[in-house]
Amino acid sequence: MTYNYKFPHPAVTTDVVIFTIDEDSLKVLLVRRGHGPFEDRWALPGGFVEIDEDLESCALRELAEETGVTGVFLEQLYTFGAPQRDPRERVITVAYYALVPIDRLHPRPASDARDVGWFCCDSLPALAFDHADIVRMAQQRLCAKLQYSTIALQFMPGRFTLGELQRVYEIILGEPLDKRNFRKRLRAYDCLVDTGQQRRNGNHRPARLYTVKEPGAVRIVR
Amino acid sequence: MTYNYKFPHPAVTTDVVIFTIDEDSLKVLLVRRGHGPFEDRWALPGGFVEIDEDLESCALRELAEETGVTGVFLEQLYTFGAPQRDPRERVITVAYYALVPIDRLHPRPASDARDVGWFCCDSLPALAFDHADIVRMAQQRLCAKLQYSTIALQFMPGRFTLGELQRVYEIILGEPLDKRNFRKRLRAYDCLVDTGQQRRNGNHRPARLYTVKEPGAVRIVR
DNA sequence: TAGTTTAGTGTGATTAGGACACGAACCCAT
DNA sequence: ATGGGTTCGTGTCCTAATCACACTAAACTA
């Protein structure tokens, strides 16, 4: 069975940059390629768009297949289409990025991936195709978006402390923030709810636990 | 001659939203379709990506074919890929947008376009495919970008007055601006050069003529 | 030459952002 | 039990950016 066209068609894929915060650093999910070009190299999870499948559905499907994560913030990043970016044939890829909370990581190797793992953004291995460019652009976008939206809340688990949230900002921005100004700013956003609960964690005063008021909603602020 | 693949491939196009300012309004360039689905309907200029052609090259080529304009600000907008957006076959389109100056408009009907014309953004005719969505998103992006970059300078001809530039901002944003604050802001950007020349235009004091310091450069400001 | 029209210019008020220090609560070790 | 260590939680002042606002200048016309 082959599919015939009157003029040449490129293949189209989606790739997903899945970010999380783990062990005090920003990490991306990579899979080790089981075959094809760049065999054994690490690459972004992604794959071919099915002929009746929406682009975002494709990205969501692959995200679910790789990580079991659903219902996350998913945004189109950019479409990469340099003619020689795949040695097999012309492949145009629509890149998305997603943020998954610390507590919902269950990556397992999928069908055509030999292995799967989280890597610190600032010490990535050599990646397949132009995936290093894609990760770099996603990281820039994340950093920019952090400053004028509530996107960072997507990283947070069900309940969390303000200290933990501040740490997330600091890790992504790569610089320390002032505690009181940070809290003032978050209070102004009015997007957190005090659960009334506390977390004792070490030999110090316990911290209040908060939840996100509208999980999944990303507000533009400032 | 046909092209055969082991699995179905979508077609890929680029479409370009070409903005200009004319007659005190924001306009987009549309072409009237000469055949195919939506025959005689107005649509964005665009077409199929050649198999060895970069995406942006494709958009630039079509922009040049339609308008004769080169060297303009061109930016990827979004990729639209709903399965049924084209009735013929699955077509994924990578949308770009471009800003062309008032004095460089030479649109002429191209090969597969029956007619070509400029339309006010706020009174568009019924468009082919999902092109109305594309225009809407491009307009949003333009509006947002205006506030934190020097993108609006791309609309300006070789020499222009500060009053004309302010009018461009007001047209896109849809609200009047304060003259003194506007000029203070532009002065802070430091992206204009006083030519020393003036323009007499009506029974009033003549206005100074400025040029853009680095034409083509779009700086992020604020 | 008086009237009309747009060009060109600065200050003061308000608002937003950034720097900054200390008591509270808990744990642990003595 | 008490003192030391650690993170939690809170408000004020100062600076910088933004916004509102009004008059004179230069040209043309009648």
The nucleotides of chain C lying under 7 Å from a protein CB are 3-11, 16-21, 23-28
Domain assignment present for residue A3? The answer is no
Average pLDDT score over residue span A181-187: 97
Residues B25 and B115 grouped into a single domain: yes
Tell me the per-residue pLDDT of B131-165, one tens digit each, with 9 for 90 and over. Answer: 999 999 999 999 999 999 999 999 999 999 999 99
Domain assignment present for residue A62? The answer is yes
Q: How many residues are there in chain A? A: 222
- Which residue is closest, via its CA, to the C1' of D20? B178
Q: Which residue of B has its CA nearest to A48?
A: B9
Residue B70 has a pLDDT of: 77
| Residue where one domain finishes, among candidates A99, A127, A146 | A146
Tell me the per-residue pLDDT of A132-152, one tens digit each, with 9 for 90 and over. Answer: 999 999 999 999 999 999 999
Q: SS3 of B103, please?
A: coil
Strand D and A161 CB separated by under 7 Å: yes
Domain assignment present for residue A18? The answer is yes
Gap from B207 CA to D29 C1', Å: 19
Residues of B in contact with A48 (CB under 8 A): 7
Residue A210 burial class via C-beta count within 10 angstroms: exposed 0-12, middle 13-18, buried 19 and up: buried
CB neighbours of residue B108 within 10 Å: 10
* Cα-Cα-Cα-Cα dihedral sign, residues A115, A119, A123, A129: positive
Could B6 and A2 be called an inter-chain contact, meaning their C-beta atoms sit closer than 8 Å? Answer: yes
Q: CA B36, CA B46: separation in Å to the nearest integer?
A: 14
Category of A186 on φ-ψ map: left (φ > 0), alpha (ψ -120 to 50) or beta: alpha
Average pLDDT score over residue span A169-192: 97
Domain assignment present for residue A66? The answer is yes
Residues A111 and A63 grouped into a single domain: yes
Residue A206 is part of which domain span? 151-212
Residues B135 and B60 grouped into a single domain: yes
Residues A100 and A21 grouped into a single domain: yes
Residue B98 burial class via C-beta count within 10 angstroms: exposed 0-12, middle 13-18, buried 19 and up: buried
Residue B19 burial class via C-beta count within 10 angstroms: exposed 0-12, middle 13-18, buried 19 and up: buried
Domain assignment present for residue A217? The answer is no
Strands A207-212, B192-199: pairing kind:
unpaired
Which of A48, A51, A76 is opposite residue B78, by nearest beta carbon? Answer: A76
Strand D and B2 CB separated by under 7 Å: no
List strand residue ranges (DSSP E) for chain A, in order.
3-5, 11-22, 25-33, 42-43, 46-48, 74-80, 91-99, 113-120, 192-199, 207-212
Both tokens of residue B203? 């029974």
Could A51 and B5 be called an inter-chain contact, meaning their C-beta atoms sit closer than 8 Å? Answer: no
Q: What CATH number is attached to the domain comprising B174?
A: 1.10.10.10
Residue B155 has a pLDDT of: 96
Average pLDDT score over residue span A168-180: 97
Category of A71 on φ-ψ map: left (φ > 0), alpha (ψ -120 to 50) or beta: left
Q: CA B10, CA B72: separation in Å to the nearest integer?
A: 29
Category of B105 on φ-ψ map: left (φ > 0), alpha (ψ -120 to 50) or beta: beta
Domain assignment present for residue A6? The answer is no
Residues A36 and A115 grouped into a single domain: yes
Which of A48, A54, A79 is opposite residue B55, by nearest beta carbon? Answer: A79
Q: Among residues B88, B90, B10, B8, which one has the least CA distance to residue A1?
A: B8
Could B81 and A10 be called an inter-chain contact, meaning their C-beta atoms sit closer than 8 Å? Answer: no
Beta carbons of B116 and B29 less than 8 angstroms apart? yes
Strand D and A180 CB separated by under 7 Å: yes
> Alpha helix (H) ranges present in B24-92?
55-67
Q: Among residues B95, B138, B2, which one has the least CA distance to residue A81?
A: B95
Beta carbons of B165 and B191 less than 8 angstroms apart? no
Q: Among residues B210, B209, B23, B51, which one has the least CA distance to residue B119?
A: B23
CB neighbours of residue A165 within 10 Å: 20
Angle at A61 between CA B94 and CA A3, to 5 degrees: 60
Q: What CATH number is attached to the domain comprising B71?
A: 3.90.79.10
Residues A89 and A23 grouped into a single domain: yes
Tell me the per-residue pLDDT of A39-95, one tens digit each, with 9 for 90 and over. Answer: 999 999 999 999 999 999 999 998 888 777 777 889 999 999 999 999 999 999 999
Both tokens of residue B64? 């040049």
CA distance B121 to chain A (A): 25
Return phi, psi of residue A201, to 5°. -155, 85
CA distance A34 to chain B (A): 20
Domain assignment present for residue B5? The answer is no
Residue B111 pLDDT grade (very low, low, confident, very high; cuts 50, 70, 90)? low
Both tokens of residue B19? 């903005």
ipTM of the complex: 0.94
Q: How many domains does chain B have?
A: 2
Residues A166 and A140 grouped into a single domain: no
Strands B11-22, B91-99: pairing kind:
parallel
Nucleotide nearest to B180 (CA to C1'): C9
* Half-sphere exposure in the Cβ direction for A7 (13 Å, CA): 10
Which of B4, B7, B94 is opposite residue A4, by nearest beta carbon? Answer: B4
Domain assignment present for residue B128? The answer is yes
Q: CA A54, CA A212: separation in Å to the nearest integer?
A: 29
- Which residue shows structure tokens 């957006």? B85
Residues B121-146 as b or e (16 or more Cβ within 10 Å = b): beebeebbbbbeebbebbbebbeebe
Which of B2, B53, B94 is opposite residue A4, by nearest beta carbon? Answer: B2
Tell me the per-residue pLDDT of A83-125, one tens digit each, with 9 for 90 and over. Answer: 999 999 999 999 999 999 978 777 777 766 778 899 999 999 9
Least confident interval from A213-222, B33-42, B96-105, B110-119: B110-119
